[in-house]
Structure 1
Amino acid sequence: MKTTTRDNIVLVANEDSDDLARKVAVAMEVPYTAVLRKQFQDGEVYHAIPGKIAGRDLVIIGSTHDDRALQEVIDLIDGCHYWRADSINVIIPYHGYSTMERAKPGSGEIPKGITRTRQLFRACPDFVGFIDLHSEAILHAHGGNIHTKHIQTDRLIIDKIRAMGNGDLVLVSPDYGRSKWVAGLASRLAMPHTAADKDRFATDRTLVHQVSSVVQDRIAIICDDMIRTGGSIIQTAERCRQAGARDVMIMATHLVLCGKARQQIQAAGIKKIIGADTYPGVVSDDLLDVYSVAPMIAEELIKQLRVV
C-alpha cells in the first residue's frame, strides 16, 4: 500500500483559493507552492508550477465557483499529468453549479452540476474531495476510475453551535429536503428542531409558508448548505419570528451571498451568519462569523495520501 512523506507533497491552488490553501499547507506542515501566473494582452493565461513535479504527490485546492476558476483547476490537473506527477489529489471547497444536478424531461436543460463535474473527472485526477455538496449525485459522474469523497463539515458545525452554550436554541431546516440532515445535527446536540414548509415556483424563487411553534421563545438557527440570494432564508426567518422565535441566526457552510443578499439579510434583522471559508474571499466581520475548514481538509489529505 502506497505511502508518502511530507517532503514529497506539492500543494498548489487556483488563484481564488490561495488563502485557504495556505492555511491547509500550515495545517499539513508542508510548504505552499505558489503557481506562477500572467495574462497576455490577448487574454491567454500562462501558468507554471515551480519546482520538481515528477514522481511527487500533488495536492490542488480549488473552488470552482465560476468558469475561470473551474478551468484553472482543470489546467492544473492536466499540467501535473504533463510533468508526470505520481498522484494528483484535488479538494473542491465550493463546487459551482452543484444545485443543477438534474434536468426536467424534454426541457433541453443542461444539468451543469453533472456536466461540469465530468469536465473535472475527464482530466483524470486520482482523488477528488468535495466539501458539503448540495447533492451527492455528482460524485458518480465518472467511469469508476476516480476516488471521490463527500467531505462533510458536520462536526465543525456541531462544535460551533455547542460553543454558543445556550439552552434555548432550536435548529430549523429551510425546507423538508434538508430536514433529515438538520434532524441529525439536532440529535447529536440534544436540541429540538423543525422544518419550514417551502414551495419553489421558479428557478431561484421560493415561497415559505409556515414554521412549527417549537421555535417559540427560542433562538432559531436556520441551517443550510449554502446562502446565495438569501430569499428563502429571509422568508424562513420571518416565519420563525411569526411563530414566536426570540431571535434568528443562520448557519450555512458556503457563504456565496450574491448580489444584495447581505444587505437584504441585515435589513431583515438577522445579525449573525455562521459559515465556513469555502467560498473565496469570505472573512469574519460584524455580520459573518467564519470558521476555517483548513484543519479538516489537512486531516483528510493526510489520511488519503497515507502520510508517514
Structure 2
Amino acid sequence: MSVTHEPKLISGNANMPLAKAVARRMSMHRGVNVGLVDARVERFNDGEIFVEVFENVRGEDMFIIQPTSNPANDNLMELLIMADALRRSSAKRITAVIPYFGYARQDRRTKARTPISAKLVANMIVEAGIERVLTMDLHAAQIQGFFDIPVDNLYASPVFALDVMTQFRDHLDDVMIVSPDVGGVARARELAKRINAPLSIVDKRREKAGEVAEMTVIGEVTDKICVIVDDMCDTAGTMCKAAQHLMDNGAREVHAYTTHGVMSGPAVERITGSVLKSMVITDTIQPTEAVKNTPNIRIIPTAPVFAQAILNIWNGTSVSSLFETPTLEPIYEGQFGT
C-alpha cells in the first residue's frame, strides 16, 4: 500500500476556519495542496458524536486540529473519538493540535475534595491513542507534566511583541507591560523583555470565584501606555476592572493582549463599554460574530505559527525556534498593519 509523504490534517467542528487557514499556510510552504482529510463529525439525535473518515490514512502522519473550547465537553469528545477512528484506521502517528486547551484552569486542588481535571483530560487524550500534543499558552506550564507524551507549548508573546512594536512604534518608550495578577507575572515579563519595556502588576484579591474585591497597582503607571497581558479573557470582568484601575492611577491609555478569547456571557458588552482603547486576541478559539464586530477588539491569526510548528514536528526539526523573533518575522510578514 503506497502512502503519501505529506502531513495530513483533519479537523473537528470546534474551529474549522482556523483549520482551513492552517491548511492554506501549509500548502504555501510545501508548494503542494495540503487539504483537510475528508471526514464527517456529526451527532446522533441524542447528542452522541459520530466520526467517519472517508480517506485512507494507513501509515500517515495525522494532525487533528481541535481546540477544546465552548462547548468544552462536546469538542473534547470530538477530539477523542477522531483519535480513536484514526488509530483504528492504522494511522502511523496522531498529533493533537489543541490551540486552546480546555480544563486548564483546574490544574491543582485549591481546596479539599476538588478534582484536578486537567490531569484527567491529559489521561483521556493519551488513552485515546494520541502520541503528541501541540498547544498554545497553557494556563499553567506544569500541565505539560501531566502528559506522558511530548507536549509542545507555543507562546503568543513573540507574536504579540511583533504587533506591539508595530502598533506603538512611535511611543515604545511610554509602553508599560502590565500583569493582571501575580500569577501571570512570568508571561508579562516575557513580553516586557522582548520589547524592552518596564513591568507593572495589578494585585487582585477575590472574595469568591469570578468576583474581585480589591485591586492594587504595583509600579508607577502615570502617563504610561499600559498593555495588559493575559492568557485568556472569559467574562472580561477582571480585565475591565484592571483597565479602569490603571486609568484611575494615571495611565494615559490602556490596551490588552490576551491569547484565548473565551468571551463568555457579558464579555463583549463589558469590553465595548470599558476604558480599554483596544483589545487584541488570537483566533485559537473561533470568534463569534459579536466579537468580530466589536470595534475595540482586534484578532491576530495563529495559523502561520501553527502551520510552521506542524511542519517542524513532521520534519523532526525544532519547534522552540518559533519563539525567536527572526524566525517569526518572515512567517508573519505583512500581517501587522498600522
TM-score by length of 2: 0.84
Match of 1:94 among 92, 97, 100: 100
Measure, in 2, the Cα distance between the counterparts of 1:179 and 1:258.
24
Q: Structure 2 matches for 1:1-308, cutoff 5 A?
A: 7-29=5-27, 30-65=34-69, 66-104=72-110, 107-142=112-147, 144=148, 146-164=149-167, 165=169, 166-167=171-172, 168-212=174-218, 214-282=220-288, 284-285=292-293, 286-306=295-315
Q: Please give the root-mean-square deviation of Cα atoms over the aligned residues, in Å.
A: 1.9
Measure, in 2, the Cα distance between the counterparts of 1:271 and 1:154.
20
The verdict on how the C-alpha distance between 1:274 and 1:258 changes in structure 2, with shifts beyond 3 A counting, is: same
SS in 1 for 2:14: helix
Structure 1: segments with no counterpart, 5+ residues: none
SS in 1 for 2:95: strand
The aligned amino acid for 1:49 is V
The aligned amino acid for 1:234 is C
Kindly provide the CA deviation profile for residues 96-149 of structure 1, in whole angstroms up to 9, marking residues without a partner as x.
1111111135x211121221222112212121012101112222223x3x1112
SS in 2 for 1:178: helix
SS in 2 for 1:248: strand
Measure, in 1, the Cα distance between the counterparts of 2:183 and 2:219.
20
Contact 2:7 2:314 (8 Å CA) reproduced: no
Measure, in 2, the Cα distance between the counterparts of 1:37 and 1:149.
26
Measure, in 2, the Cα distance between the counterparts of 1:136 and 1:49.
34
Contact 1:6 1:307 (8 Å CA) reproduced: no
Kindly provide the CA deviation profile for residues 148-186 of structure 1, in whole angstroms up to 9, marking residues without a partner as x.
121112210101111111232211110111113212211
Measure, in 1, the Cα distance between the counterparts of 2:198 and 2:44.
56
Contact 2:224 2:252 (8 Å CA) reproduced: yes
Measure, in 1, the Cα distance between the counterparts of 2:229 and 2:57.
41
SS in 2 for 1:137: helix
Partner of 2:331: none
Query: How many correspondences in the alignment?
Result: 301
Measure, in 2, the Cα distance between the counterparts of 1:103 and 1:97.
13
Measure, in 1, the Cα distance between the counterparts of 2:20 and 2:216.
43
The verdict on how the C-alpha distance between 1:237 and 1:208 changes in structure 2, with shifts beyond 3 A counting, is: farther
SS in 2 for 1:215: coil
Kindly provide the CA deviation profile for residues 37-84 of structure 1, in whole angstroms up to 9, marking residues without a partner as x.
343334333321221110111110001121000000000111110000
Q: Shift of the alpha carbon at 1:249? A: 1.4
Q: Shift of the alpha carbon at 1:214? A: 2.3
Measure, in 1, the Cα distance between the counterparts of 2:286 and 2:134.
17
Moved more, 229-238 or 202-211: 202-211
Contact 1:272 1:288 (8 Å CA) reproduced: yes
Q: Shift of the alpha carbon at 1:95? A: 1.1
Contact 1:207 1:232 (8 Å CA) reproduced: no
Kindly provide the CA deviation profile for residues 7-65 of structure 1, in whole angstroms up to 9, marking residues without a partner as x.
53220111122110111111111122242134333433332122111011111000112
Contact 2:12 2:41 (8 Å CA) reproduced: no
The verdict on how the C-alpha distance between 1:38 and 1:236 changes in structure 2, with shifts beyond 3 A counting, is: closer
